[in-house]
Amino acid sequence: MIRPIDAGDSDRLRDSHERLSPESRYRRFLAVKPHLTSADVRYLVDIDGRNHVALVATLPEADGAPIVGVARFIRIPEEPEVAEVAIVVDDSLQGRGVGTELLARLAEQAVARGVHRFRATMLADNVAVHRLFESLAAGPVDRRRLGEISEMEFPLPAARPVAGDAAALAA
């Protein structure tokens, strides 16, 4: 199940981070981060829904609906049509489509809020996330490599019309 993150997800988010392998934590934060601090958790769950949006994937059949993936964007104030994007998926579910679905839904949320490009910073050797972002790109991908870090910027797909939405269908 994919839904917006909310303030009540603090403990589930912390637990999700703890379940990640040290490598997955490093790939997400580009630094050693064995634990999320209270300030980290507060920042990651206290979103405004416009400039900072985050979606979580949960396993609804499990006790407490644990978070198994998080995708977020944060709009760049100087470039309001561009947002930094980040994603992490539980190690046990990587490569099974969770990240693809989270990112696709996050892109829809971004476009609906006037964001038309995502910018991502990642380890240069993180082939899986490079491919994930490339699969979403609706046009040319701009790439820069800065040593062990690479940055990608790419256009987002146009919003898909919603059934019954006359304005979207007319556009």
| DSSP per-residue letters across 36-56 | --HHHHHHHH---SSSEEEEE
**What's the whole-number mean pLDDT along residues 52-75?**
89
Q: What is the pLDDT of residue 164?
A: 45
User: What is the C-alpha separation between 40 and 71, in angstroms, rounded?
Assistant: 15
- What stretch of H or E contains 169? helix 166-170
Percent of the chain with pLDDT over 70: 91
Confidence of residue 94 (pLDDT cuts 50, 70, 90): confident
Please give the angle made by the CA atoms of 28, 74 and 3, to the nearest 5 degrees: 80
Strand partners, 149: 123, 146
Confidence of residue 73 (pLDDT cuts 50, 70, 90): very high
User: What is the C-alpha separation between 28 and 130, in angstroms, rounded?
Assistant: 13
Q: What is the pLDDT of residue 34?
A: 85
Confidence check: pLDDT of 10 > 60: yes
Count of domains for the chain: 1
3-state secondary structure of 139: coil
What's the CATH code of the domain at 92?
A: 3.40.630.30
**What's the whole-number mean pLDDT along residues 60-74?**
85
Confidence check: pLDDT of 4 > 90: yes
3-state secondary structure of 145: strand
Which contacts (CB < 8 Å, 24+ apart) does range 164-168 have?
none
Range of the domain at 12: 2-170
Q: Which residue has the tokens 């300030």?
A: 39
Strand partners, 122: 150
Q: What is the pLDDT of residue 63?
A: 61
Report whether 89 contacts 126 (CB < 8 A): no
Q: What is the pLDDT of residue 160?
A: 57
Report whether 117 contacts 138 (CB < 8 A): no
Q: What is the pLDDT of residue 168?
A: 37
What average pLDDT does the structure give for the chain? Answer: 88
Percent of the chain with pLDDT over 90: 66
Q: Are strands 117-123 and 67-76 parallel, antiparallel or unpaired?
A: unpaired
Instruction: Give 118-143 pLDDT, tens digit per residue.
Output: 999 999 988 999 999 999 999 999 99
**What's the whole-number mean pLDDT along residues 76-104?**
93
**What's the whole-number mean pLDDT along residues 42-49?**
93
